[in-house]
Amino acid sequence: MDLSGKVALITGSARRVGRVLALRLADLGCHCVLHCHTSRAEAESLRTAIAGKGQEALVLQADLSDEEQARLLADQALAWKGNLHILVNSAANFQRVSLPSIEREQWDFALGANLLGPFWLAQRLGPAMVQNGAGKIINIADISWQAPWVSRIPYCVSKAGLVSLTAGLAKAFAPQVQVNAIGPGPVLFPEEYTEAQRQAVIERNLLKRAGTPEEIADALEFFCRCDFATGVFLPVDGGQSILGI
């Protein structure tokens, strides 16, 4: 796909990895719908940064664990330019919760924001892309879906669902739309991680370093440009998943 002048919705793009993904798409010539939940000020500052690159951007706020808000986000994103070519599902709820403490609420947060939110967006935007003759949906998953962490079971299960959803949507929206998933390894640690925790994670990695959000953006760029890959789960994880940890 030629990305110049295309319209992309990037969820969770006010901060961290999502911000870098949005900046990459803007650099490639896309106009960006910047979704945020609580980080409105950061999203507005990103809008200004993208305007400085000569692309247009719109900030939209939604709690993706709320079905109505997710559906409204899809409608508003589509209405902005009358068309939407790329959907990047990067927003996620990365909650740590011990097994005995998991209640309905933890499942609702994780499945709502990380799995159902992407589904409601794709359910609305995928058919519009099909009608338009082309489109890309890229889901930012996690390598932990295959070997879930006991401390984050709802999160890992939601990401397993997202990988499965990727394959289902790839079938549903073929041949016009390609749907793929990226599985980052550690690229940006949770802000509360100590240096020792960071080092311990890096030690479990074949390449002995953390990745960078730019390396996730490289994979995103590949999936946006490539028209012959669909239903793929691509780990970008320094080889962590082949070590099985």
Ligand X SMILES: NC(=O)c1ccc[n+]([C@@H]2O[C@H](COP(=O)([O-])OP(=O)(O)OC[C@H]3O[C@@H](n4cnc5c(N)ncnc54)[C@H](OP(=O)(O)O)[C@@H]3O)[C@@H](O)[C@H]2O)c1
Task: Give 130 or 202: the residue with its C-beta nearer to ligand X.
Answer: 202
Task: Give 20 or 130: the residue with its C-beta nearer to ligand X.
Answer: 20
Tell me how far apart the alpha carbons of residues 16 and 188 are, in angstroms, rounded to a whole number.
7
Closest separation in Å from C-beta 25 to ligand X: 15
Task: Give 2 or 192: the residue with its C-beta nearer to ligand X.
Answer: 192
HEC-encoded secondary structure of 8-65: EEECCCCCHHHHHHHHHHHHCCCEEEEEECCCHHHHHHHHHHHHHCCCCEEEEECCCC
Report 144-203 residues binding ligand X (CB under 6 A): 184, 186-188
- Quick one: which of 28, 36, 46, 57 contacts ligand X (CB under 6 A)? 36
- Quick one: which of 63, 108, 215, 221 contacts ligand X (CB under 6 A)? 63
Q: Does 140 bind ligand X (CB under 6 A)?
A: yes
- Residue 223, CA atoms < 13 Å, CB-side half-sphere: 32
Cβ count near 223 (within 10 Å) = 24
Of 10-18, 76-84, 170-178, 224-232, the segment contacting ligand X by CB under 6 A is 10-18
Task: Give 140 or 175: the residue with its C-beta nearer to ligand X.
Answer: 140
Closest separation in Å from C-beta 63 to ligand X: 5
User: How distant, in Å, are the alpha carbons of 49, 194, 203, 208 from that of 199?
Assistant: 33, 9, 6, 9
Q: Which residues belong to the active site?
A: 155
Q: What residue ranges bind ligand X (CB under 6 A)?
A: 12, 14-18, 36-39, 63-65, 90-94, 113, 140, 142, 184, 186-188
